[in-house]
Structure 1
Amino acid sequence: MHIKTLTKYLEELAPPFLALEGDPTGLQIGSLKAEAANVLIALDFNREVMEEALELGANLVVTHHPIIFRPLKAVEPDSPAGSLICDAVKKDLTVYSAHTNLDVTEQGVSRRLAERLSLKNQKVLKPTYYQKLYKIVVFVPKGYENGVREALAEAKAGWIGNYSHCTFNLEGVGTFKPLEGTNPFIGQQGKIETVSEFRLETIVAEENLNKALSSMIKAHPYEEAAYDVYSLKNKGKVMGLGIVGEPTQELSLAELATEVKERLQVKELRLAGPREKIIKKVAVCGGSGGGMIEQAASRGADLLITGDISYHQFQKALSMNIALIDAGHDATERVVVPFLADYLRDRVEKGGHTNKIFVSGVETNPWSIM
C-alpha cells in the first residue's frame, strides 16, 4: 500500500479539520505516493529518530510535533533544520505530523493522559469543535428498507453514542409517474403508480454525510431515489483541548503528585498549592497547558496537570485557588505514542497488510535533571 493509505488511517482518528488555525499538521517531508514499508511513531523528529527509522526499515515517521512548525524562509543544508530535512529527503523518508488535530480529537493526547491517570466522568475542558449533524429522510419501497438501512449504517449514519442503526420508520403511500426516457424499477412509463413505501429517517455527522448519501443511493432500488437532507441545530460530539474528570479516590495534592510521577514515569514535578489540599476534581492538558488555568477553575477543578507552566501562570493559579502540577511537556504528551502505534497496528492488520509499526525508543525530551 501507499503511505497515503496509512496517513488516511491517521486522519480517520484525528481529522485535519480539527487542527487549530495556522497549525502545520499533515505532511512535513517526503511523498505520500511512495510504497509504505515499516512505520516509526515518535513524539518528535530529529537526527536520532531518523537513524532509528532507517535501522528499523521504516520509510514513514509519524510524529506529534511538526519539525516545520514556523515558516522556513529557506532549506539550507548548512543549517541544523535544513540539514536534517535534506538528509531525510535523500534517504526517501516521509515525515507526517498529527499535531493539534491529535490534541483536539476525541481519543487524542489529553484523553490518553486522563486515561493514564484513571480519571472518571471525563469531559472536554475547552471545546473547540462541535460536530454538525444532519438528518437524512429517504423513501424506500416496502421490502427494501432493510438493505437501505444497512447501507446507511455502514456509512456511519444512525450512530448515536454507543448505538448504531438508529432510524425511525413510518409506512405510507408514495406516487410517481415515469416519463419518457425512464427505466422504472416499479410501474410503467406514462402511468401514475401508487406504491407502499417506508419513510426512513436517520442522523449523520457532517463528515460522514456525503459517504452516507452515496451508500444510500447505491443501495436504493429506484432509478431516482427520493430523499431530503435537513441541517440540524442539535450538537453532536464535543471535542477540544484538555479533559476534566475525577480521580478514583480523593487524595491530597502531595499524594496525587506521587501517583502522577509513577504513572507518567517522571523523576520530578513542579507543584503549586498546599500539599495537604484535597483533590476532588482534576483537569489535564497534554503539552503546554498553562493557558488553561481559567478554564480549569471555571469547571470546578481543584488541580490542573500539564507542562511548560510559567512563573506568572503559577502565581495566577494560586490567586484562583487552583493547584498545579507541571509534569513536563514531554511526559504529558508521550502517552499518545503507544496508543497511536496500537491504533495503526490494528488498522494495518485489518487491511490485510504486514507493515510493522514501531514505537521510538529515542528520548527527545531536551531537559535533564542535575
Structure 2
Amino acid sequence: MPTVREIEQALFELAPREGAMDWDNVGHLLGDPDQAVTKVCVALDITEAVAAEAIEQGCELIVSHHPVMNCKWLPVQTVRSDTAQGHLLLRLLRSGVSAICMHTNLDVAPGGVNDAFAAALGLEDPGPLGDPEGLCRVGTLSSPMPLQDFARKVCRDLHANGVRYAGCGKPVRRVAVGGGACSDYIHHAVAAGCDTFVTADLSYHQFLDAEGMGVNLIDAGHFPTEDPVCARLVSYLTDRFPELTVFKSASHREVIQYCVEGE
C-alpha cells in the first residue's frame, strides 16, 4: 500500500507546491509520512464531522483543500484539547489519521479548483482569466441568458442553498469564475470583457459598484464554488492508486442557510 509520503508526492504532481502563495501552508501537515494508507477521505475542509467520519470509516488519511493549520488566519501557537483547533488536531493524531492539504496550489493548477468550477457551470472553452496569480478562469455560455435565469442555474449546478447577485443590465454570455474569496479579481474580469463574474464572499460595496463597473456579480458561496474539486481529487487518487479506497466526505456540506420572507 502507498504511504502518506507517496500520496503527497502524487498530489504535488497534480498541483505543484510552487504554485502555492507564499503565505500558504500546503502538503502533509499532520501525521506520520511513512504510514501505510488503505483508505482516504477527501473533503473541502477538515472539520470535527469530517474527522469523525474518517475515523469511523477506518481512514488513515484525509485529503482536503483548506489547510487544517494555516498561519495566515489561525496561527498555531498551542495544541490544547480545550481549544477548537487543538481538540481537532489531537483527535486526528490520537486516531492515527494524517492530513494532506492542497490549497492555493490546487486553485491555480490545471484541472484544479477553478477548472472544476468552470466545468460545473458548463462553460465552453474555459481558459485563464489573466489575473497575476493565475487563479481565475473565463469561458462562455452556448447562448446568452438573462441574469436571473443564470443565477438559478448557478445555484442548481453548484448545489448551493442560495446565491446573492447584482446586475449591470447585461445578459450573461462571457463568464469569469473564481472559487472561494476572489473578489480582488473583479477588475480583471471587467478588463477581459466579461459580463459576469461568479465567486464568493463578496461585500455590500462590491455589489453596490457592480452596475457602475458594467459587470454582473454572483456570490455563490465559498463551499459551493470550491467543492466540485473534491470529486476530481477522488478520481485522481483512484487512478493513481487503484489499491486505495478513496471517497468524498458525506458529512461535509454547505452550512450557510438562507431565509427568504414569504417561505
TM-score (norm 2): 0.93
Deviation, structure 1 residue 55: 1.6
Deviation, structure 1 residue 292: 1.0
CA distance in 2, matches of 1:127, 1:11: 23
Deviation, structure 1 residue 364: 4.4
Residue 233 (structure 2) pairs with residue 340 (structure 1): yes
CA RMSD of aligned residues (A): 1.4
1:244 to 102, 116, 138: 138
Aligned partners of 2:39 and 2:58 also within 8 Å: yes
CA distance in 1, matches of 2:132, 2:4: 29
Aligned partners of 2:43 and 2:252 also within 8 Å: no
1:362 to 232, 243, 251: 251
SS in structure 2 of the partner of residue 363 of structure 1: coil
CA distance in 2, matches of 1:250, 1:292: 23
Residue 186 (structure 2) pairs with residue 297 (structure 1): no
CA distance in 1, matches of 2:170, 2:161: 22
CA distance in 2, matches of 1:321, 1:283: 14
Aligned partners of 2:195 and 2:216 also within 8 Å: yes
Paired residues for 1:235-274 under 5 Å = 240-274=134-168
SS in structure 1 of the partner of residue 60 of structure 2: strand
- Give unpaired runs (5+ residues) of structure 2: none
Identity %: 34
Deviation, structure 1 residue 127: 4.4
SS in structure 2 of the partner of residue 68 of structure 1: coil
CA distance in 1, matches of 2:155, 2:256: 16
Paired residues for 1:119-268 under 5 Å = 119-128=123-132, 240-268=134-162
SS in structure 2 of the partner of residue 61 of structure 1: strand
CA distance in 2, matches of 1:122, 1:2: 35
CA distance in 2, matches of 1:271, 1:69: 30
Paired residues for 1:12-161 under 5 Å = 12-70=13-71, 71-128=75-132
CA distance in 1, matches of 2:173, 2:231: 29
**Structure 1 counterpart of 2:211:** 318
**Runs of at least 4 residues off by over 4 Å:** none
**Structure 2 counterpart of 1:214:** none
**Structure 2 counterpart of 1:6:** 7
Aligned partners of 2:40 and 2:59 also within 8 Å: yes
SS in structure 1 of the partner of residue 69 of structure 2: coil
Aligned partners of 1:64 and 1:99 also within 8 Å: yes
Deviation, structure 1 residue 73: 1.3
TM-score (norm 1): 0.67
SS in structure 1 of the partner of residue 55 of structure 2: helix
**Structure 2 counterpart of 1:236:** none
**CA deviation profile, 1:12-43 (whole Å, cap 9, x unmatched):** 10011000111111122112111112000000
Higher strand proportion (structure 1 or 2): 1
CA distance in 1, matches of 2:185, 2:241: 36
Deviation, structure 1 residue 315: 2.2
